[in-house]
Homo-oligomer: A and B are copies of this chain.
Amino acid sequence: MNAPMSIQSCGNCGLSSMWALTQLEMNRLGGIIKKSSPYQRGESIFRQGDAFSSIYAVRAGMVKTTVVNANGAEQITGFYFPGELLGLNGLHEKAYLGTAMALETVSVCEIPFAKLDELSAMLPELRRQLMCRMSQEIADEQNMMLVLAKTSAEEKLGSFLLRLSHRFKRLGFSDTQFRLTMLRVDIGNYLGLAVETVSRTLTKLQQRSVIKVEGKEVTILDIAGLTFLNSNGEQSAKPIALD
């Protein structure tokens, strides 16, 4: 089992590389950030319903967020990589809308939101970065909605793998070979597929030499093949436009 991935630590916290702030701004930001002790696999960083107080930046390791729906079933809402922010959805309800759980050994920085808000009044660049990150979160989720709206299991899994690939690349890791930290059942839950379908589809893609799978290790052999799975031009809504 290899070490969980991490971003370069620097200054108070591993955050400066992603926030693009000046030294002064970083110092101010660093002043309000609390470093927390690492979480072990299965431990939760916050829980659904807890009062919202802070957002969290993942420093190392991968986190999954889940909600319990009306039927009492647990549904995964996201996987979070180092450098990504947790808890942004809790602000408007003043409570966390889901539970964040470590998938492996995880290190996070806690950023008290009230202080971040005050600070953002004084530091324009920090404010813009924060907005920007929230905007990105919105965009990422729309992207995920596109994945989920695909009709075939192959497309869903293909898009899922490509998304992972992009995020590993952004972290400086290989975008063609990586480790699926989460379980097959998690992938299925996240994508709205049965576990067995996940397994079978991975096997099928492997047989076609689009990917190689060895347990949790995945190698992407044919990115184009993965991108254009089942690419029948259908399933699109025609524009009303006259415009």
Contacts and interface: CB of A to CB of B under 8 A. Distances in A.
Interface of A: 41-44, 66-67, 69-78, 88-93, 97-98, 101, 103, 117, 120-121, 124, 127-128, 130-139, 141-142, 144-146, 148-151, 183, 185-186, 188-194, 227-228, 231-243
A111 to B, nearest CB: 13
Tell me the interface secondary structure of chain A in the complex. Answer: mixed
* Total identical chains: 2
B91 A231 contact: no
Contacts of A91: 131-132, 135
Contacts of A120: 127
B190 A149 contact: yes
**Which 4 pairs between the two chains have the least Cβ-Cβ distance?**
A73-B236, A91-B135, A148-B148, A149-B192
Given A89-B135, A101-B241, 19 more contacts: A66-B237, A67-B146, A70-B231, A73-B233, A74-B237, A75-B149, A77-B145, A78-B142, A89-B138, A91-B132, A103-B240, A148-B148, A149-B190, A149-B191, A149-B192, A151-B194, A185-B238, A186-B237, A189-B235
Contact of A239 (B92, B101, B130, B242): B101
A234 B183 CA distance: 16
A92 B139 contact: yes
Contacts of A139: 89, 92-93, 97
Contacts of A43: 241-243
A148 B147 CA distance: 9
A161 B162 CA distance: 31
A27 B239 CA distance: 38
9 contacts: A73-B236, A75-B237, A76-B149, A88-B134, A88-B135, A88-B138, A92-B135, A98-B142, A137-B138
